[in-house]
Amino acid sequence: MKRSTGQDRSITQKWRSATRAVRGGSWRSEQGETSEAIYLTSGYSYDDAETPAARFAGQAPGMTYSRTQNPSVQMLEERIALMEGAEACRAQASGMAAMSSAMLCQLSAGDHMVVARAAFGPTRWVTDNLLPRFAIACTAVDGRDLDAWADAIRPNTKLFFFETPANPTMDIIDIRAVSDLAHRHGITVVVDNAFATSALQRPLEHGADVVAYAATKMMDGQGRVLAGAVCGTADFINTKLLPFQRNTGNTLSPFNAWVVLKGLETLELRAHAQAANALTVAAFLEGRVPHLLHPGLPSHPQHALVQAQMKAAGSVFSFTVDGGRKAAMAVLNALELIDISNNIGDTKSLMTHPASTTHSSLTPETRAEMGVTEGLLRISVGLEDPLDLIDDLGQALSQAGLGSR
């Protein structure tokens, strides 16, 4: 049987990123399977009573229970860590399990954190509603404004949290500048990298400490499973995240881990192709809609920053229509090809009205502050022919009486 080298860092570190995506983390059973196996098992058995004793004591390697370790999950964790350039990674049950764990595993009562206000709706629910119940204070700032981050720092500030590009307004945050500021004050920086993924942006290379993922999105890439991941130093993962996770149970199913593992093999191809399609579609909308929020267009105010920290601007962007919620819903209802769906990162193009879906749990004030207006629509561009997407958007805008500005 040919040995699988995917878990051997002395070998995988030498691989370039496309090779890491296809083979990183692989772990073969004695059958020598070429496609990674799905280990659907909750427990493990041992040849003698001393073995589990040694494993529980941390004196011998090996699995003990799938809340803590599972071969399929471990393959995914090692592959994501390699692709991210991180020392370690732990898979999580969903993207929100990753975001909430990345915060809760390192914050205590009396601490303070700062969040960029444009963020995934449930992330803001955690920072605005859940953390205060445990006496953890949070200040929301305009993440694009470095002075706002600096002004929000208190003596007890422990964490900066932001996503870039941010959902759904596509704000871009300067990872290097915000991380340098944080580190001058001993603050840890967590970046939600779900929109870009390691294929387009590696936050650790720009100074971030922890990268958290909704693997549900581009990493699976085909809209099949919920999954998440947190990456960081081995010390952070082993001393902060792992004790929290193994005792609270945010564990990913081995089946879902396997689906994402296979998705990663095509991540780079998909991310670049979908980003290119998104640019083509956005170029069609430019001039036809009042506001186009696409960081890949030279007209975007943060275009230079996008070029400095991203390989491409990604597959999701937003735009507004005149006429508020009624007009936005009329456009969605007129679509013939693009699905009405609040998911993103699928090979199928999807569109949603954030104010009534992904960001509906927020107060109207928070939505207004984030720029989530009633006329805002978000599109996640897939792998269809972009000309068919343009045809669909064109006919939907005209059926809604819009788009001939």
**Contact residues: ligand PLP, CB under 6 A:** 94-96, 99, 120, 163, 167, 192, 194-195, 214, 216-217, 226, 228, 344
Look-up of token digits 């500030």: 157
Q: What is the DSSP pairing of strand 339-340 with strand 350-352?
A: parallel
Closest contact distance (angstroms) between CB of 357 and ligand PLP is: 12
Q: Closer CB to ligand PLP, residue 98 or residue 396?
A: 98
Closest contact distance (angstroms) between CB of 194 and ligand PLP is: 4
Closest contact distance (angstroms) between CB of 403 and ligand PLP is: 27
Q: Closer CB to ligand PLP, residue 96 or residue 312?
A: 96
Q: Any long-range contacts for 386-389 (C-beta under 8 Å, 24+ apart)?
A: 386/277, 386/280, 386/281, 388/337, 389/277, 389/281, 389/337, 389/338, 389/349
Half-sphere exposure of 290 (CA within 13 A, CB side): 12
Q: Which token pair is 299?
A: 């007209």
Q: Closer CB to ligand PLP, residue 23 or residue 217?
A: 217
Letter for the amino acid at 144?
A: R
CB of 97 within 8 A of CB of 225? no
Q: Closer CB to ligand PLP, residue 72 or residue 315?
A: 315
Q: Closer CB to ligand PLP, residue 167 or residue 277?
A: 167
Closest contact distance (angstroms) between CB of 283 and ligand PLP is: 24
Q: Closer CB to ligand PLP, residue 170 or residue 292?
A: 170
Closest contact distance (angstroms) between CB of 358 and ligand PLP is: 8
Total Cβ atoms within 10 A of residue 151:
11
Q: Closer CB to ligand PLP, residue 28 or residue 270?
A: 270
Instruction: List C-alpha distances in Å: 281 to 14, 284, 401.
Output: 38, 5, 19
**Distance between CA atoms of residues 340 and 343, nearest Å:** 9
Closest contact distance (angstroms) between CB of 324 and ligand PLP is: 24
Residue from 348, 357, 404, 396 nearest 376 by CA: 357
Q: Name the closest residue to ligand PLP (Cβ).
A: 95
Q: Closer CB to ligand PLP, residue 192 or residue 374?
A: 192
Closest contact distance (angstroms) between CB of 99 and ligand PLP is: 6
Residue from 73, 128, 62 nearest 245 by CA: 73
Q: Which residues contact 286 (CB under 8 A, 6 or more apart)?
A: 292, 297, 299
Closest contact distance (angstroms) between CB of 344 and ligand PLP is: 6
Q: Which token pair is 108?
A: 């205590």
